[in-house]
Amino acid sequence: MADSVLQLTDIENIFWNCTIQNLGLDPAAKESQKRIRIGYPAEGAPAWKRTDNVGFILVTLADDPITQQAEISYTRASETTAIRSTSYTRVIQVSWTFYGPSSFDDADKVRAGLYRSPLLYSPLHLITEVTSPIRLPELFGGQWWERTSFTAQFNEKVVRSTNVNYIQSAEVQIIPNR
């Protein structure tokens, strides 16, 4: 009766590994840890040089009409209990932001890899309307920093289960009209 749902850290790890693989980097190398980061620097403004190639992954949930549909089923567990399973689709939105001289090329490689290597982000399923990378240099500290971003959405089938008790008895009262 275990739930089938990915935790946020699991999803972030899936997309970190997917990004590293699509860029052809070594996941075990220490420089890969700094090259692709989850979230944004807690210290604030850029904590790297303008010439460094750095990527960020941000995972959120997205609203979609498909997320409002749920299927509920019951399976007998014992004489007194059943397992209530609720399954639905959750839409995961992943945003990539790349900085540095290779930012556009990095974004393009990762985006192309989403179509080419779907096993890298399994058990999630790509919604194929992936935005094109948008090159949008950013002004910081009086200097322009190369920046490119794109977003993709993925479906995840979620199943949440719980034990429910059967109704053993009920009290029925008849109250005549007064």
Residue-by-residue pLDDT tens, the chain, 178 positions:
678 999 999 999 999 999 999 999 999 998 888 899 998 766 666 678 889 999 999 999 999 999 899 999 999 999 999 999 999 999 999 999 999 999 999 999 999 999 999 999 999 999 999 999 999 999 988 889 999 999 999 999 999 999 999 888 889 988 888 6
Confidence (pLDDT) at 2: 77
The tokens for 4 are 């089938």
| pLDDT score recorded for residue 46 | 61
Residues 148-164 as b or e (16 or more Cβ within 10 Å = b): bbbbbbbbbebeebeee
Where would I find the H helices in the chain? 8-22, 30-35, 103-116
> Which of these CATH numbers, 3.30.70, 1.20.120, 3.30.2000, 3.40.50, describes 8-40+51-164?
3.30.70
Instruction: Tell how strand 143-145 and strand 138-140 pair up.
Output: antiparallel
Question: Distance between CA atoms of 6 and 80, rounded to whole angstroms?
Answer: 30
Token pair belonging to 21? 């693989």
Q: pTM of this prediction?
A: 0.85
Q: Which residues does 65 contact at the CB level (< 8 Å), separation at least 6?
A: none
